[in-house]
Amino acid sequence: MDKIVIEGCHRLEGRVRINGAKNAALPIMAACILLNGPSRIKGIPDIVDIQTQSEILKNLGGEIKRFEDGTFEIIFRDGENADRFIAPYELVKKMRASICVLGPLLSKRRKAKVSYPGGCVIGQRPIDLHIKGLKALGAQIETAEGYITAAADRLKGTEISLMGQYGTTVLGTCNVMTAAVMAEGTTIIEHAACEPEVQDLANFLNKAGAKIAGIGEDRLIIEGVRELNGVDYEIIPDRIEAGTFMIAGAITKGDITLENVRTEHLTAVIDKLRDIGVEVVADNNNARIKGSSLYHNVDLTTLPYPGMPTDMQAQFMALLCTVEGKSIITEKVFTDRFMHVPELIRMGADIRIEVSSAIIRGKPFLSGASVMVSDLRAGAGLVLAGLVAKGTTQIDRIYHLDRGYERLEERLSKLGAVIKRISD
Ligand code: EPU
């Protein structure tokens, strides 16, 4: 298993280009099941989760080609592969997002059998809202032997609320939307997720011929259509990758410029960085991050979009561990997503968990240690902490990082970090 080793305390400087958004690319790739003919999609990052999604789609009869410039061609053809509707455990277990083939399969092939994604290290991840939405559209759904089996004749439009105990659901909205675009009649999704990645999926589907209104609002109105066709499309830049690099600049008190950023997708992140004392200058599709030696402690709460993303929580925690004073981070999306806390404590951080909040007393410095990654964003938080820790930090289980960040260590190294990957 590969490791990352970082020698801390090097200031970052320079420019880095942000890739297309993983969490937009995954459901958009799955939505290609609905389309007749080839789609050419630009900006899909070269990461392990995309490889997993490609395997799942190939297993369902998709033809997938990646060109040298990174563009993907994905082809499904109407009338072919009607008998292929299974996403097996061996593939689904690698990545929860594979659940987003459920809606497109059900709509297009009238049947879907998808391995239950189960819980995961960031806390309970039920799919009751996905199932509720698909049942409302007329699907019969059973869960047995670790699989969700869904069947329907043509789905029928209806009114559905996706409000759950912790707010709405991102992939649940994607699943219900992709099922509804070819349903008979009109579907109204109340309490739909508004995340930019959900908007990107809706824009992709509209380009392919769907009729989705209310994109970016919490009420989607979808007129079912009979056919959707392959399109050329470019995925939005990854706001979480951008936010992670922003904190890399801030935590090392550096001066870096991110290219290919949609700062309007990062309002909550940028506002909080400015409250801390980081200078953020947005200019067209670039964002310049200038760190300072005078930062202020802050409190933050993760919320669905446009609030602070839960996927930025671990990265902000790393930064706040180095800012003197008491900061409180409250996690409202995945209430026990704190697996990075014991690892940050190993690096000298002072953090106490109380229910779904982390109380952080910032210190002037962290110290290098051996730590282990539990999930993708926890890993990003540990890398950021390693960039400023005194001495050497060794990070194990970095396959989690490879799921979502393309060549992270190479790109940080180009900015001046002393970081390398060690393969066993
Ligand atoms: N929830 C339910 N019932 C459901 C679905 C979700 O109660 O049927 C709850 C969850 O337990 C959680 C909350 O609703 O408390 C939000 O979960 P959501 O369904 O929105 O999460 P997701 O769609 O499974 C996506 C991202 C995650 C990101 C969350 C929240 C992808 C592939 N994954 O997950 O990204 O944290 O939305 O924004 O889009 C990551 O990239 O590292 C990652 C984990």
Q: Are residues 56 and 189 in the same domain?
A: yes
Residue ending a domain, among 173, 208, 234, is 234
Pairwise CA distance, residues 53 & 145, whole Å: 22
Longest dimension (CA), the chain: 63
Residue ending a domain, among 234, 254, 270, is 234
Catalytic residues: 120
Angle at 284 between CA 282 and CA 285, to 5 degrees: 85
Q: Are residues 206 and 253 in the same domain?
A: no
Angle at 398 between CA 392 and CA 402, to 5 degrees: 130
Q: Are 104 and 34 in contact (CB under 8 A)?
A: yes
Q: Are residues 182 and 195 in the same domain?
A: yes
Q: Are residues 227 and 89 in the same domain?
A: yes
Residues 6 or more apart from 300 whose CB is under 8 A from it? 272, 308, 316, 327, 328, 329, 330
Cis omega before residue 126 (within 30°)?
no
Which tokens hold the place of 421? 């990957």
172 CA distance to ligand 1 middle (Å):
8
Closest by CA to 363, choosing from 388, 381, 339, 341, is 388
The total number of structural domains that make up the chain:
2
What values do phi and psi take at 181, rounded to 5? Answer: -65, -25
Testing ligand 1's pocket by substitution, the residue of 98, 124, 125, 399 carrying the most ligand atoms inside 8 A of its CB is: 125
Q: What is the CATH number of the domain that holds 147?
A: 3.65.10.10
170 CA distance to ligand 1 middle (Å):
6
Residues 6 or more apart from 245 whose CB is under 8 A from it? 16, 18, 256, 258, 289, 411
In the 3-class helix/strand/coil scheme, how is the chain assigned residue by residue? CCEEEEECCCCCEEEEECCECHHHHHHHHHHHHHCEEEEEEECCCCCHHHHHHHHHHHHCCCEEEECCCCCEEEEECCCCCCCCCEECHHHHCCCHHHHHHHHHHHHHHCEEEEECCCCECCECCCCHHHHHHHHHCCCEEEEECCEEEEECCCCECCEEECCECCECCHHHHHHHHHHHCCCECEEEEECCCCCHHHHHHHHHHHHCCCEEECCCCCEEEEECCCCCECCEEECCECHHHHHHHHHHHHHCCCEEEEECCCHHHHHHHHHHHHHHCCEEEEECCEEEEECCCCCCCCCEEECCCCCECHHHHHHHHHHHCCCCEEEEEEECCCCCCCCCHHHHHHCCCEEEEECCEEEEEECCCCECCEEECCCHHHHHHHHHHHHHCECEEEEECCHHHHCCCCCHHHHHHHCCCEEEEECC
Q: Are residues 30 and 7 in the same domain?
A: no
Q: Are residues 242 and 229 in the same domain?
A: no
- Give the pLDDT confidence score for residue 310 in this predicted structure: 97
Residues with CB under 6 A from ligand 1: 23, 26, 96-97, 122, 124-130, 164-166, 169-172, 197, 310-311, 333-334, 376-377, 404
300 strand-pairing partners: 329
Q: Are residues 325 and 269 in the same domain?
A: yes
For the chain, 424 residues long, the average pLDDT of each consecutive 10-residue run is: 96 98 98 98 96 96 95 95 93 89 97 80 83 98 93 95 94 98 98 98 98 98 98 98 98 98 98 98 96 97 97 98 98 94 98 97 96 96 98 96 96 98 90
Q: Are residues 214 and 245 in the same domain?
A: no
Q: Are 271 and 243 in contact (CB under 8 A)?
A: no
Q: Are residues 207 and 255 in the same domain?
A: no
Residue ending a domain, among 234, 254, 284, is 234
Q: Are residues 13 and 26 in the same domain?
A: no
Closest by CA to 85, choosing from 154, 152, 171, is 152
Testing ligand 1's pocket by substitution, the residue of 49, 92, 171, 266 carrying the most ligand atoms inside 8 A of its CB is: 171
Q: Are residues 164 and 300 in the same domain?
A: no
What values do phi and psi take at 350, rounded to 5? Answer: -110, 100
232 CA distance to ligand 1 middle (Å):
28
Domain of residue 379: give its range. Answer: 2-18+237-423
Q: Are residues 301 and 405 in the same domain?
A: yes
